[in-house]
A and B are shown apart, each in its own frame.
Chain A
Amino acid sequence: MIRASVFGTTVKTYEDLMYTACGLAVMTLVGLWLLREGGRSVMAE
């Protein structure tokens, strides 16, 4: 998307907003879940 915005039609780019958003949402949820699970084992000194 950044490349498409900079170069316009000069270069062929492929982007899909929904696919990207869904993929990132899944990654974020997985990250938060891992953080929640891992945070239990971390003790502040």
Chain B
Amino acid sequence: MKASGFVWTVSEPLVLPFGHVEVANDPSHTRSRRTGHALSVERVSSVAAVPHIGGRIAVHIQNGSLLHQQVTILDIFIARPLLEIGSNLTALIGSSVVFYILGTVDVPRDLPMFYVGYFFMAWCAVAITLIIGALSERTDWVQRIWLPYSYMYMMFRGSSALQTGCRRAFAPWRFISPTHRHRR
């Protein structure tokens, strides 16, 4: 059972793309199944990684991981994000392969841009991790606020779907999203 934590770390991001399929909307308003799956795969990277790694680090520090004198705080801040990014990459590749076999998603049209985008996403996650992790050492409030926010972020991140799917009722909520994209 000791490996269950590691297994969950790897498998948790996998839950998102498959769950996201049901709520993902077509940005071109045609609501095609194919685009919905592509959106779900695209979103798993940013949804899972960016807010989640910061929260994990905050918990890690609060749990007292510095039990060994040879382990510095920077070691944890490097090792944990790398593990999380690895699990996120596994989920991205795994869900992409599954959806590709099902014939519902294509290979990205511009692969180099996909790699650059993923690199920036990972960099963003690490940068946020450094800030959130460092602040969580100083006060417990950072962890208490960031952890719920990291889960609420998934809802905010899906505000684009809300915008197109439930326009009138939920439209104002889209402005809360830090990643809201303005559309013409």
Spell out A's residues near B (CB within 8 Å): 1-8, 10-15, 17, 20-21, 24, 27-28, 30-32, 34-35, 37-39, 41-42, 44-45
Contacts and interface: CB of A to CB of B under 8 A. Distances in A.
Given A8-B109, A44-B69, A28 B46 contact: no
Contacts of A11: 27-28
22 contacts: A3-B42, A4-B110, A5-B109, A5-B114, A5-B117, A6-B41, A6-B42, A7-B42, A8-B109, A17-B116, A24-B127, A27-B124, A27-B127, A27-B128, A28-B130, A31-B129, A31-B130, A31-B131, A34-B130, A38-B137, A44-B69, A45-B66
Nearest to B135: A34
A30 B124 contact: no
A31 B123 CA distance: 12
Secondary structure type dominating chain B contacts: helix
B109 A35 contact: no
Contact-residue size bin, chain B (C-beta under 8 Å from the other chain): 35 or more
A1 to B, nearest CB: 3
B134 A5 contact: no
Interface of B: 27-28, 35, 38, 41-42, 45-46, 64, 66-69, 71-74, 77, 108-114, 116-118, 120-121, 123-124, 126-131, 133-135, 137-138, 181-184
Rank and list the top 10 A-B pairs by shortest CB-CB distance, nearest first.
A31-B130, A1-B117, A34-B134, A5-B114, A2-B117, A27-B127, A5-B113, A8-B109, A5-B110, A11-B27
Nearest to B129: A31
B131 A12 contact: no
B120 A30 contact: no
Given A1-B114, A31-B131, 9 more contacts: A5-B114, A6-B42, A10-B35, A27-B128, A27-B131, A35-B130, A41-B138, A44-B69, A45-B66
Contact of A41 (B41, B109, B137): B137
Nearest to B138: A38
Given A24-B127, A38-B137, A6 B183 contact: no
A41 B136 CA distance: 12
